[in-house]
């Protein structure tokens, strides 16, 4: 999707900035659902797409179409699986992540989003859950099927051994891993002028596929920040996921985080229900008061990026484009 046609589509919808996925999702099995053995498919390690020349090329192509290349979302599981699992290649992979951050800074890209999770985004269903039968995703229960060997973050990084499972891990061990990750990477991000942005666990449940989760309640965002206080330790603030949490202080927390300049960028989508029982809706029909959120961001002089996280597919010849155009138009009108 990194093409002039998509850049022009985004500009025509009123977008000014772009968040990019460089992870190869093309080689997938029914993304965003996936299957229990291989998730979304095989994760690839592609050093060239993280290089300064490639990143600079994409940035310049976007600029020619009137877009700012603002940030990247997600490392490839193939590049940091032993950081997540605390495996033998951890040190080597951390050095590679540091170089990626340096490359982003040199290429003029401000933000690197990440999701420090063993199960990743998984356990969802798909169906005509949105208004008028629009196809969207949801959740019926917290899937606890153990993760096979060779899979992390809902993608397969190697073939794996039959009948063997991903190594077990406790909440305490996972918090230790993310703390070490931040303490090593945040100083590099600071020096490079890059902000690391943590996505909350989607779906936000304490345990998924028999693995622990980190930010499945809003107070855990504060805990994550306190591990390594820094202007480069920020949040990829997914309001759909946060609404799934059922937190009473969602709006006040948004105001507080915006005032503290911890919101690197914001995912905007809407849902009905709470995890583990919810479904996604069109942006104007769910439980989240999008207008109130926009007002809070206006009042707090938020200067980051807002993006439609994803949107229901609409019944037409271009289901994805129509769904995203509707979400972008609604946000543009509110702004």
98/93 Cα distance (integer angstroms): 9
Percentage of residues in the chain having pLDDT higher than 90: 86
pLDDT value for 30: 64
CATH match for 4-334 among 3.40.50.300, 3.90.1150.10, 3.20.20.150, 2.60.40.1120: 3.20.20.150
Averaged pLDDT, 11-29: 85
The CA distances from residue 258 to 80, 302, 305, 330, in Å, are: 30, 6, 12, 22
pLDDT value for 36: 66
Unique residue bearing structure tokens 């059922």:
246
Which residues in 114-143 are b (16+ Cβ under 10 Å) and which e?
bbbbbbbbbbbeeeebbeeebbbbbbeebb
In this predicted model, what pLDDT tens digit does every residue of 117-132 receive, in sequence order?
A: 999 988 888 999 999 9
Cβ neighbours for 86, distance < 8 A, ≥ 6 positions apart: 173, 177
User: Helix or strand or coil: residue 175?
Assistant: helix
In this predicted model, what pLDDT tens digit does every residue of 249-307 receive, in sequence order?
A: 999 999 999 999 999 999 999 999 999 999 999 999 999 999 999 999 999 999 999 99
CB-CB contact of 315 with 131 (8 Å): no
Domain residue ranges in the chain:
4-334
In this predicted model, what pLDDT tens digit does every residue of 211-231 receive, in sequence order?
A: 999 999 999 999 999 999 999
pTM: 0.95
Query: Does pLDDT of 38 surpass 90?
Result: no
């Amino acid at each position: 999707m990194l093409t002039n046609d998509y850049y022009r589509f985004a500009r025509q919808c009123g977008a000014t900035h772009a968040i990019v996925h460089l992870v190869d999702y093309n080689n997938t099995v029914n993304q965003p659902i996936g299957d229990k053995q291989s998730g979304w498919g095989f994760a690839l390690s592609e050093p060239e797409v993280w290089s300064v020349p490639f990143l600079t090329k994409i940035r310049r192509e976007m600029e020619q179409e009137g877009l700012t290349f603002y940030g990247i979302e997600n490392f490839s599981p193939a590049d940091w699986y032993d950081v997540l699992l605390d495996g033998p290649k951890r040190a080597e992979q951390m050095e590679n992540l540091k170089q990626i951050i340096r490359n982003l800074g040199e290429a003029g890209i401000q933000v690197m989003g990440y999701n420090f999770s063993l199960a990743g985004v998984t356990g969802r269903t798909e169906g005509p859950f949105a208004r008028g039968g629009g196809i969207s995703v949801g959740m019926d229960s917290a899937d606890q099927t153990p993760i096979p060997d060779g899979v992390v973050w809902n993608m397969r990084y190697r073939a794996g051994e039959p009948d063997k499972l991903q190594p077990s891990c406790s909440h305490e061990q996972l918090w230790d891993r993310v703390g070490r990750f931040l303490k090593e990477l945040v100083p590099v991000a600071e020096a490079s002028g890059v902000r690391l942005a943590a996505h909350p666990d989607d779906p936000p449940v304490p345990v998924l596929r028999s693995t622990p989760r980190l930010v499945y309640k809003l107070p855990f965002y504060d805990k994550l920040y306190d591990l390594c206080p820094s202007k480069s330790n920020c949040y990829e603030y997914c309001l759909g996921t946060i609404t799934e949490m059922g937190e009473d202080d969602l709006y006040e927390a948004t105001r507080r985080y915006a005032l503290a300049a911890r919101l690197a960028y914001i995912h905007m989508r809407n849902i009905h229900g709470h995890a583990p029982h919810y479904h996604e809706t069109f942006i104007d029909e769910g439980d989240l008061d999008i207008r109130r959120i926009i007002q809070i961001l206006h009042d707090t002089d938020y200067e980051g990026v807002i993006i439609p996280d994803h949107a229901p597919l609409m019944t037409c010849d271009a289901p994805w484009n129509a769904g995203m155009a509707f979400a972008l138009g609604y946000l543009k009108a509110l702004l």
